Amino acid sequence: MDCAYFDAGRCTSCALMGRPYPEQLAGKQAHAEALLAPFDVPVWMPAVASREDGYRNKAKMVVGGTVDAPTIGILDADGHGVDLEACGICSPGHRAAFPVLARFITLAGLTPYDVRRRTGELKHLIVTESPDGELMIRFVLRSTEPVPRLRKHLPTLLAELPHARVVTANVLPEHKAVLEGEHEIVLTEAATLPMRLNDVTMHLRPQSFFQTNTEIAAALYAEARDWIRDLAPDTAWDLYSGVGGFALHLADADGAGPEVTGIETSVEAVASAELSRSDAALSHLRFASGDATAFALGAAAGEAPDLVIVNPPRRGIGAELAGWLEASEVSHVLYSSCNAASLAKDLAAMPSLKPVRARVFDMFPQTTHFEVMVLLERRTLSVE
C-alpha cells in the first residue's frame, strides 16, 4: 500500500507504510515467535492476513482549521490541522462520510477547538462503520453549547448520510490528551450500532471498545470458538470481556455451550453485551461490570471455572491475576494479546500453564502492532 500523506511527511502514524505486505506479516510472525520462544510453543498456526487498506472500522479524527474550512485528521507539531480525509486505512464508508461531515461542521457552526488558545468547541470526530455499512458518528465537544445546533441541522446530515444510524454529542470539557469525555448525548432514535460478525450480532454503544479490524476480529472469534469447542468446558470466565465478542461466540442458543461469565470495567460495554445476550436469548451467559483481577481474587467468584479467557489491554493481565491463574485449578486459559511483550511477561509468571498452540492475527496492517492468541493447558511440573 502507498500513501501520499506518508510520502509527504504529513502523517507518519503507519510506521510500515510502503513496505511489502508479505514482508510485514512475516516480520510480525517472527517477532511473536521470538518473544514466545522461551515457552516452547509446539504449534504455530499460519498468521491470519488482513486486507492492506480500508481495514479500520473506527476512525478517530482530530478536527482543526476553521469553521468555514475545517480539517479532519490530525494536528501537526504546531497545533495546526492536517487534513487526512482520504486516509487509506480508513474504511470506504469513512472516506465517503468525511467530506459530508466537513460541510456539516460549517453548516452547524461547529468551531474547531484550538489547542493552543483553548478556544472553540469541536475537538474530535469518532466514526465507526458496521459490517453492514451503517455508521455511528460522535462529535466530541468542549461543552453542550453547540448541541442545539447539532439537533437543528441533524436532518440535513441524515439526508446526506442515510446510513448514519447513531449520532451523538460527547462532552469533553477538560483540556487534556484524551479522546472523549464521560457524558454522551444521543441525538438519534437508535443508540447502538449492530456489529454482525460470523453468526453473532453485537450491539455497540458509543463508548464501548470494539476490535479495530472487523474482518480480523471475526477470524479471531471464530478461531477461539473452534479451539474452545474442542475442549468442551462446562464453565468459563471471559475477563476483559468488552462487548462480549468471545463469550457470545461460545454460546449456543440451545444452551449447549458453557456457562460463561463476562467481566468488564466499562459500564457501556457491559450494557452492550447484555443487550446482545438478551436479543439472542442466551440464558447461560451473564455480564457484569468490574475489575478482572478483583473478580478472580474475590470470594464472590466461587469455584474456578474450567476455562478463563483473557483479552487485556497492552499492559497485560499483570502479576496478581497471573499469580491467581498459576495457583488456581483452571485447566485452560485462552490469552488474546495486543502486545506480545506483555504476553511473554505474563506467561513467565504462569509456568504450570503451557502453550498448546498460537496464532498471529494481523489486526493493524501498515503498523508494527498485531494480535496474537495462545491456548494454554495446565500441566503438572516435574520434580527433579
Cell numbers for 321: 491475576
Pairing of strands 70-75, 81-83: antiparallel
CA dihedral 120, 125, 126, 129 (to 10 degrees): 160
- Tell me the CA distances in angstroms from 323 to 131, 133, 345, 349, 353, one per residue in order: 39, 43, 12, 7, 11
- Tell me the CA distances in angstroms from 39 to 283, 307, 352, one per residue in order: 38, 20, 11
94 close to 137: Cβ distance less than 8 angstroms: no
- Tell me the CA distances in angstroms from 178 to 65, 194, 320, one per residue in order: 20, 26, 28
Cell numbers for 322: 497471573
Cell numbers for 80: 495546526
Pairing of strands 259-264, 235-239: parallel
Cell numbers for 351: 509456568
290 close to 263: Cβ distance less than 8 angstroms: yes
SS3 343: helix
Active site residue 338: yes
Distance from the Cα of residue 284 to its chain's centroid? 25
SS3 259: strand
Give the amino acid at 308. V
Catalytic residue among 14, 87, 90, 338: 338
SS3 357: strand
Catalytic residues: 338
